[in-house]
Chain A
Amino acid sequence: MTEMEKIQELVEKESRFVDKLLGEVSKVIVGQRRMMERILVGLLCKGHILLEGVPGLAKTLTIKTFCDSINVKFQRIQFTPDLLPADIIGTLIYDQRTGNFIPKKGPIFANLILADEINRAPAKVQSALLEAMQERQITIGEGTYKLEEPFLVLATQNPIEQEGTYPLPEAQVDRFMLKVLVGYPKKEEEKEIMERMTGTASVSASPVISSDELLNARGIISQVYIDPKIKDYILEIVFASRYPNDYGLKDLEGLISWGASPRASIYLNLASRAHAFLRHRGYVTPEDVKSIAPDVLRHRILLSYEAEAEEITSDDVIKQILEKIEVP
């Protein structure tokens, strides 16, 4: 048996839970397959996700259902302008019986965190959360506490209200592995949602996998084979976002202020492996890269004022790049 065959066999075996998990979540959530897969990619790659979509698209319900299906702890934090860092990470409180200060852990001590409307809280709160996301540990007083794995933050941004918000700085947005746009369901899907939610039978998900299975799968992701041709393809995509003129994308010149950072190459590589894993494949294909590239790149490509004036989005730019770069 060749090395590749071994990897393939391992991936096929270890990725069995994917269909089981997605099937269980789908008992509650209608459609939104893309969002569900991206959440799994985040869970498998230890990457955090920024969700963007109008209210009422089942963002919270999806995450909660994932928690129910994996049997991990879920916390939802509603970000408001008066929120303090201690409201998230916790604080020291005085114990009258012992006369000591004891740590009171905040809601961040959970596995799946939904940071709802992250742009409503001021910068110091956002920084506290993002630091925790990066370090995966919290310091309260003199004690440092590791956050339990799996640890995934899903932050939402409401794109339709801009007043009274504190938009995340570009450097902090870059820390999110994926930015997923959640769209409206299709007509048939919405009909199904209507029937499920107004019926008498209650819909809920039960645990179908353990968090250990998920953590075990994380180890497999790094073994998924990625051919040098695919690595080059990833680099070409990222570099095209920085120097579009060198790649025959003259139309994009002047539209991009800043191209994707090196984090984009790293995450595109990782996310493509996870995507292949979700398809039970032990190797990455260009289709994996193409499929995940918009989610990895859309918040990392900063557009110019000219682009904004012409109502060109980063998705339009990514589409052009993917069409131009030759698939290996």
Chain B
Amino acid sequence: MVKKFLVAVLFAIALPLSAQKLPPPRLHLPQPAQGSTSQAQTGGAANLLPAGSLPSLKLQAAIEPLKIYQAEFFNYLIELKWEKGKDICELEFKLPEVPKAEGVKAVGSEFESENLVKGESEQVRRIYGFRYFPEKKGKSAIAQADFEYRCRGTEPYAKISVPSFPLEILPPRFHLADLKGSRAFQASLALVLAAAIFSTAFLIWRQRRKKSALKPVMIEQTAENQALEMLKSADQFRIAGRYPDYFLALERVLKTFLEQKYAIRWSGRDRLVQDIAKAAAAELAENIDRLLILSDRVKFAGVEPSTPELDQAYRAVRGIIEFKKLEITGGVK
């Protein structure tokens, strides 16, 4: 079914473009003639009326693709059409011989038939496809193709022919695949690939080296500056006497800074204090612990902090930021 469809599609595409190249077909009436008349066709197609109950056959031929190159397969498609009716007999065809062509090798043939019903009329369509492989460039021609047919079970056969089909075989096109076999090509391809891999690796390495040289200083400075800025802006809450907000802001400074700097996640006071002790110093961790306890009292117990407590909280946060600053200086050395 798929094959049939493909052949039909190919034919539909190829025919309108190449049909004008087709010479007019010749009619060979069966012997004895059954009163059929030939009808001249224009535009490369033919209408034939065999005698008696034989139907009138329409014939069209085309090649696909339109341009034929040496060493590239092409198809020669011939379509036969006729109307079915009460007075028309059932046709049977002799298997046609594959038409030959000089410098072109015939490699296969197939045909498909289909019935097209449109309202009350019914049409039969038979497509023959011949496949060729051009071995030489230059002018050539596909020999006349003969189709013999008759009413099923009767004698003799009528004949309809497609005259010789001229071809222009162009020189072969360049294909990368052709080079695959050549050693020179393989060697140069390997060389190009190796060079590409090497240069990509070199570029990545250089970029990473640049990044790793810059990253620590940039990130450390950013985290520190950001924390100090946040700390500065938190002071507005202290001045306004909004202590729960002030401690919330201090916690945010700490949270942001610790996450950026040490990748410490805020997961409970005890854990946080342990992490700070590990990453920085035990003394700083103790200060932070005191700060967090005070923060909870201020936020959740409505306790108003004393001035020394506020100073202590501020120093605890500032201390951990500045501690890191010293460490960075040491790291740069």
A residues sitting closer than 8 Å to B (CB atoms) are 4, 8, 225, 227, 229-230, 282-287, 290, 328
In the complex, chain A residues whose CB is within 8 Å of the CB of B302: 4, 225, 227
Q: Are A283 and B268 in contact, CB atoms less than 8 angstroms apart?
A: no
Q: Are A227 and B268 in contact, CB atoms less than 8 angstroms apart?
A: no
In the complex, chain A residues whose CB is within 8 Å of the CB of B300: 225, 227, 229-230, 283-286, 328
Q: Are A4 and B301 in contact, CB atoms less than 8 angstroms apart?
A: yes
B261 within 8 A of A: no
In the complex, chain B residues whose CB is within 8 Å of the CB of A230: 300
In the complex, chain B residues whose CB is within 8 Å of the CB of A4: 301-303
Interface residue from B269, B297, B299, B303 paired with A229 (Cβ < 8 Å): B299
Supplied contacts A227-B302, A283-B301, A287-B268, 12 more A-B pairs, CB within 8 Å? A4-B301, A8-B301, A227-B299, A227-B300, A229-B299, A229-B300, A283-B297, A283-B300, A285-B296, A285-B300, A287-B269, A328-B300
In the complex, chain A residues whose CB is within 8 Å of the CB of B269: 287
In the complex, chain B residues whose CB is within 8 Å of the CB of A290: 268
When C-beta atoms are compared, the residue in chain A nearest to B270 turns out to be: A287
The 9 closest A-B pairs by CB, nearest first: A283-B301, A227-B300, A285-B296, A283-B300, A4-B301, A285-B300, A4-B302, A225-B301, A287-B268
In the complex, chain B residues whose CB is within 8 Å of the CB of A225: 300-302
A-B contact count (CB 8 A): 29
CA distance A286 to B300 in the complex (A): 9
CB distance from A33 to the nearest CB of B (A): 13
CA distance A93 to B269 in the complex (A): 58
The digit string for B249-291, where 1 denotes a CB below 8 A from any CB of A, is 0000000000000000000110000000000000000000000
When C-beta atoms are compared, the residue in chain B nearest to A328 turns out to be: B299
In the complex, chain A residues whose CB is within 8 Å of the CB of B303: 4
CA distance A4 to B299 in the complex (A): 13
B residues sitting closer than 8 Å to A (CB atoms) are 268-269, 296-297, 299-303
CA distance A285 to B247 in the complex (A): 14
CA distance A226 to B302 in the complex (A): 10
CB distance from B256 to the nearest CB of A (A): 15
CB distance from B247 to the nearest CB of A (A): 12
When C-beta atoms are compared, the residue in chain B nearest to A283 turns out to be: B301
10 contacts between A and B (CB under 8 A): A8-B301, A225-B300, A282-B301, A283-B296, A283-B297, A285-B296, A286-B300, A287-B268, A290-B268, A328-B299
When C-beta atoms are compared, the residue in chain B nearest to A230 turns out to be: B300
CA distance A230 to B300 in the complex (A): 8
In the complex, chain B residues whose CB is within 8 Å of the CB of A286: 300
CA distance A188 to B299 in the complex (A): 39
CA distance A287 to B297 in the complex (A): 13
CA distance A227 to B301 in the complex (A): 7
CA distance A290 to B302 in the complex (A): 21
In the complex, chain B residues whose CB is within 8 Å of the CB of A8: 301
CB distance from A51 to the nearest CB of B (A): 24
When C-beta atoms are compared, the residue in chain A nearest to B265 turns out to be: A323
CA distance A16 to B302 in the complex (A): 24
In the complex, chain B residues whose CB is within 8 Å of the CB of A285: 296, 300
When C-beta atoms are compared, the residue in chain B nearest to A225 turns out to be: B301
CA distance A306 to B204 in the complex (A): 45
CA distance A283 to B268 in the complex (A): 17
When C-beta atoms are compared, the residue in chain B nearest to A286 turns out to be: B300
CB distance from B265 to the nearest CB of A (A): 10
CA distance A328 to B297 in the complex (A): 13
In the complex, chain A residues whose CB is within 8 Å of the CB of B297: 283
CA distance A285 to B268 in the complex (A): 11
CA distance A286 to B303 in the complex (A): 16
CA distance A287 to B293 in the complex (A): 11
In the complex, chain A residues whose CB is within 8 Å of the CB of B301: 4, 8, 225, 227, 282-283
